[in-house]
A and B are shown apart, each in its own frame.
Chain A
Amino acid sequence: MKFWIAAALLFLAAFGVAISGVNEYFFFAAYVVLTAVTLATAWNILGGYAGYVNFGPPAFFGTGAYTAVVLFKWLGAPLAAQIAAGAAMGGLLGFGVGLLTLRLRGIFFAIATVAVVFIMETLMINWRYVGGATGLQLLRPPVIAPFETYARMLFVVAAFMALASVAVARYVQGSWIGRGLRALRDSEEAAEANGVPTLKLKLFACVVSGALMGAAGAPMPMYLSFIEPASTFNLSYTISALGGSIIGGMSHWLGPILGALLLGTLQQIITVTISGEVNVLIVGVLLVLFVVLAPEGILGLLKRWFKASSK
């Protein structure tokens, strides 16, 4: 209950900010950060709970984005429909990829998911309808009241998706599914021997995770008024999804939120104040520091700190 009240308040706050007089740049930056929260939260359902490290977020994200473009170009579909379709296609891709790769474990699974990114990118490069390698300019439809600009509306949409994916991740974590995923992460053999249908659960996690990432990618073409394969299937999305989860902590739904907010905000600030290249360096340094010094992320640090202060 507390969670839902907090989520509703956060959403209302985002809505309030969007119709206030805040500087336009804030919405451009905040959209990216919120999308990173959605990506990290979605990634963590398979990567954190089940322990299957997926390097393919760009494939899912890009599938969502291109689905949106196709729907927009073909039918002039509204944003909500684009997002729904992006989620559906992301989930479908998750099902297919999961079916083919989830029998692989550890590093082999990770490598297979990298391959999916390249396959999807190559497919889009060779598809003329969506602009091929040169990409496609998109004309945004008129913005819906009460928003003044499209970026403000997209900010609210991104806030909603971030909250929705957190709600999904939280539900999965607390349910019998979450216990089963944790069991199979700890030992797949023991999980099977205790009645856990490991393949089905992994597939489920892969589909849900893929659908959320697909949804996160769907508004991206409208945000940029443009789509193009190289940036859409960029491995930087892997970094923000994986990095957010690792830095925040993978054992709890709060982790990816904290990590993605910290990482995303830092990236935005550094890109503006220093440069885009330094920003990549900082992410790398942060990741190394956390993996070595705080493998359980910010959440692990907080837990230790609370334990120490309660003693």
Chain B
Amino acid sequence: MVQSILEVKGISKHFGGFTALADVSIDIAPGERFGLIGPNGSGKTTLINCISGALRNDGGSIRFEGEEISRLPAYRRTRKGIARSFQIPRPFHSMSVIDNLLVPYEYVVHLKQSEAERQAMDILRRIGLAERARAPSNQLSQVELRKLELARAMAARPRLLISDEAMAGLSGSEVDEVLKILFDLNAQGITIIMIEHIMQAVMRFSQRVICLDAGRIICEGVPEAIVKNPDVQKAYLGA
């Protein structure tokens, strides 16, 4: 069996008396395209916060490429190869678009500034932000901010990329654009976890999907099976 790139085993997370995650385990293979769905408040973002290190899980273990990472600070996990985008874009708003990308280049990849700028421009061109490279990032539109989130995550040269609702609020053609970028990244061997509310996008993208509800995994399988699963339909429609 191929060693998994990410192995989450029985993690839980409580906020006071509220259980955000209860005994969640997932296993992701290298190069996999993995979808994470669930209604609002089901624990999707909490789960990836635990994986990326923004939150500490209460119990259980998280292994990345075989190594226990659940006690490492977030920046160390990024340096090990886990990058994420934020659901609510968090640009470095006092910097220009390209300077936003220089942060991971400087702190994760350790490139010289001239080389970092060249590679940052490559990414911006790919993602369609090249003509905005010198713009202050606090002047970007919502769509551009989402692209910047993704571009910055790409700049960290991850082996596992977690995309947290990178497509929320995008138009149909823009969703296609972002999907194409993610497919390309995956073709280069980057494992991708996609959290998304746009069902067509997750279902088209993912090879395997997990549905969370109230902090528990209620169903796991290929996209076609997930859509037909009665538990999933119940979680989403409440019927």
Contact = CB atoms under 8 A, between A and B. Distances in A.
Contacts of A183: 92, 95, 103
A182 interface: yes
Interface stretch (A155-163, A189-197, A239-247): A189-197
Contacts of B102: 179
Contact of B92 (A186, A192, A197, A198): A186
A198 B107 contact: no
Contact of A194 (B73, B93, B94, B103): B103
A195 B107 contact: yes
Contacts of A182: 92, 94-95
Contacts of B54: 189, 192-193
Contacts of A170: none
Nearest to A185: B94
Nearest to A198: B75
Residue from A180, A186, A193 having most chain B Cβ neighbours under 10 A: A193
B94 A180 contact: no
Given A186-B93, A192-B53, A179 B106 contact: yes
A77 B99 CA distance: 47
Nearest to B106: A176
Given A182-B92, A183-B92, A195 B78 contact: yes
Interface residues of B, number: 27
Interface in A54-85: none
B12 interface: no
A196 B90 contact: no
A41 interface: no
A179 B103 contact: yes
Interface string A168-183: 0000000010011011
B74 A193 contact: yes
B84 interface: yes
A32 B91 CA distance: 40
Contacts of B104: 194-195
Interface string B163-207: 000000000000000000000000000000000000000000000
A236 interface: no
Interface in A212-268: 251
A137 interface: no
Nearest to B85: A193
A179 B86 CA distance: 20
A191 B86 contact: no
B92 A187 contact: yes
Interface string B136-166: 0000000000000000110010000000000
A52 to B, nearest CB: 15
Contacts of A195: 75, 78-79, 103-104, 107-108, 156
A199 interface: yes
A194 B91 contact: no
B99 A194 contact: no
Given A179-B102, A192-B53, A197 B91 contact: no
Given A179-B103, A196-B75, A186 B84 contact: no
Interface string B51-86: 011100000000000000000011100110001101
A280 B54 CA distance: 44
A195 B78 CA distance: 5
Contact of B75 (A176, A186, A197, A251): A197
B192 to A, nearest CB: 16
A48 to B, nearest CB: 11
B95 A194 contact: no
Given A182-B92, A185-B94, A192 B103 contact: no
A252 to B, nearest CB: 11
Given A179-B99, A199-B73, A193 B86 contact: yes
Contacts of A196: 75, 103, 107
B136 to A, nearest CB: 12
Interface of A: 176, 179-180, 182-183, 185-187, 189-199, 251
Given A189-B86, A194-B103, A195-B78, 4 more contacts: A186-B94, A187-B90, A189-B74, A191-B92
9 contacts: A192-B74, A192-B75, A193-B78, A193-B83, A194-B83, A194-B103, A195-B156, A196-B75, A198-B75
For the complex of A and B, the 6 pairs showing the least CB-CB separation, nearest first, are A195-B108, A195-B107, A192-B74, A190-B90, A187-B90, A186-B92
